[in-house]
Amino acid sequence: MYLSIASTTFQGLSTCHALQAKNTIRAQDLLAGEQINVPLRCACPTRTQIDNGENYLLSYIIAPNEFLSTIGEQFAVNISQIRAANELSETETNIYPFTTLLIPLRDPPTSTQATAPQPPPPPAAATIPVSPPSGGGSNRTWIYVLVGILGGGLILGTLILCLLFYKKKKKFEPAVSTQSFESIEKPSNKESNGEDESMDFLESISSIAQSLKVYTFGEIKFATDDFSPNRLIKGSVYRGTINGDFAAIKRMNGDVSKEINLLNKINHFNLVRLSGVAFNEGNWYLVYEYASNGSLHDWIVEKKIIKMNWDQRLQIAVDVAAGLNYLHNYTSPPYVHKDLNSSNVLLDAECRAKIANFGLARSAEGQEGQFALTRHIVGTKGYMAPEYLENGVVSPKLDVYAFGVLLFEILSGKEVSTFGANMQLSDILSEDESLTNLMDPTLEGKYPQELLHVVFGLIDSCVKKDASDRPSMDNVFKTLTRILSGKEVSTFGANMQLSDILSEDESSMNLMDPTLEGKYPQELVRVLFGLIDNCVKKDASDRPSIDNVLKTLSRISTSSVSGEWAINISENQKTIPS
């Protein structure tokens, strides 16, 4: 409704976004007779402009395929005058259709200047020849006949339209498997109404032009060497060069507004960044940051990238978990990616992972705070959770399941389809030998054997059939971060008790991170590990209060590490003597 008011009633002198910003009434709640505020772009000449003979400022709506030069010729105005009136620099050459431009004029515009060329009129409708009336009764008869024909035609046309609409509503899109940078795209309808397409384009441009770089189609062609086959990455994605930097340029059709709007709102290192858009003849061109090492799928299946070690694989897993954790817990409302797979994880020059392809992403919130439901089951085989396949439930646990599958592929170096669609690892987690056999042989056993149970236990929990049994993405991210740091608690045992190894300074030193290279006060090591041991006592009554812990740490941090620290921490000591 706001779009119609802006583009039709006010002829583009306002925008849909401007109307929404100035009114509290939602578009779907607008009723006839409602009063709304309509901000219009208009201006009066400044004193300098009047002194230069510019007595009028015309608010002009830019039409498609118009340029500053053609508009200047139309109004007999110098381009530099138009730039000055709109505060455009010499380097700004792009103007965008359906936006306003101030035209400085000496005299009021003529009707031919201010009016855009009209489209050719439609062909005249066929008429039924009517013989000249011979009398009053014959006149009336012809009127009845004409009304009957027109009425019958109208009823028949209405029935045909209803039948076509009913058939169209019954169509549905089948589930498909997505690959690489490709997204699920609606097929272009060649018979769609041209006016509707223009309105969709206008709405999209008005909402994104204020915050994203809008490129011309010519700039996109130049960046890709006119879509040269040498620039093709995969599918409809090309490698482009813009301002000396590489970019991934993806050609799409159909409705891309959801993906654009989501990527325009989020900002995270592990989510691929959208930097600009272009539109031409029904196709959208999305400009993304460039990932020089391709997709994770290329590495797993085609082994295009150099052999990765244990730490590199874990870093990729941590990156993906961080990106999903951001979507689930740090966006409002929370979002679910819905199509996480190895093709939709890209690797940059440092082999850091970035999640791509948000064409299926949607809010996880349904009505009254419940999880969302859908009848349109779309995704990649092997990655879709049981509750989604069976009941269409959309929740963050959908991504957790897919992440478990992805982590398994990262460690095994094989696609999950080779192990079966319904992967359950609980039966093979009891033997180290079985887990070792699952690992990618190119690792050559160069990984911490003691962590295999931890990592595969995490995978198994992620792919539980019951969504409520799966961990949150936040817990997955924290667990992987601890594993990557090499200090996963489970390597010391689930119930960590250090009292047996605190009797010797040498043992305590061996527990310290070797990257510290011994650069710490060794006389305080037992103090710190004694504090740790007290904090993890099995009996809660034996643990110190948080106040005493803070006091202890404060004294350690301010200590000069001298004789004042003659401290003997016994097994049950809870305070530091003053």
pLDDT tens per residue, range 319-368: 999 999 999 999 988 999 999 999 999 999 999 999 999 989 988 775 44
Side-chain-side CA neighbours of 153 within 13 Å: the count stands at 8
Is the C-alpha dihedral spanning 371, 24, 327, 341 positive or negative? positive
Domains of the chain: 1-38 (no CATH), 47-114 (3.10.350.10), 194-289 (3.30.200.20), 296-492 (1.10.510.10), 496-578 (no CATH)
Closest CA to 63 of 190, 192, 198: 198
What's the per-residue H, E or C state across 526-568?
A: HHHHHHHHHHCCCCHHHCCCHHHHHHHHHHHHHCCCCCCCCCC
Q: Are 101 and 77 in contact (CB under 8 A)?
A: no
* Interval 106-112 mean pLDDT: 73
Residue identified by tokens 């999209």 is 204
In this prediction the pTM is 0.53
What are residue 355's phi and psi, to 5 degrees? -80, 135
Q: Is the pLDDT of residue 431 over 80?
A: no
How much is the average pLDDT of 132-136? 48
Enumerate residues 6+ apart whose C-beta is below 8 A from 412: 419, 438, 439, 440
- What are 509-560's pLDDT values in tens digits? 667 777 777 777 877 877 888 888 888 787 788 888 887 888 888 777 765 4
Say yes or no to pLDDT of 13 above 50.
yes
The tens digit of pLDDT for each residue in 142-154 reads 566 566 666 666 6
Of 271, 372, 366, 379, which is closest to residue 327 (Cα–Cα)? 271
pLDDT digits (tens, 9 = 90+) for 275-329: 899 988 888 999 999 999 999 998 887 765 567 899 999 999 999 999 999 999 9
CB atoms near residue 262 (< 10 Å): 20
Active site residue 255: no
CA distance 386 to 484: 30
Distance CA(206)–CA(15), nearest Å, equals 6
pLDDT at 427 over 80: no
**Catalytic entry in 298, 319, 339, 399:** 339
User: Above 60 in pLDDT, residue 73?
Assistant: yes
Take residue 109 and report the two structure tokens written for it: 């515009």
**What pLDDT score does 542 carry?**
84
- Angle, helices 452-462 vs 473-485, to 10°: value is 170
Q: How many CB atoms lie within 10 A of CB 142?
A: 13
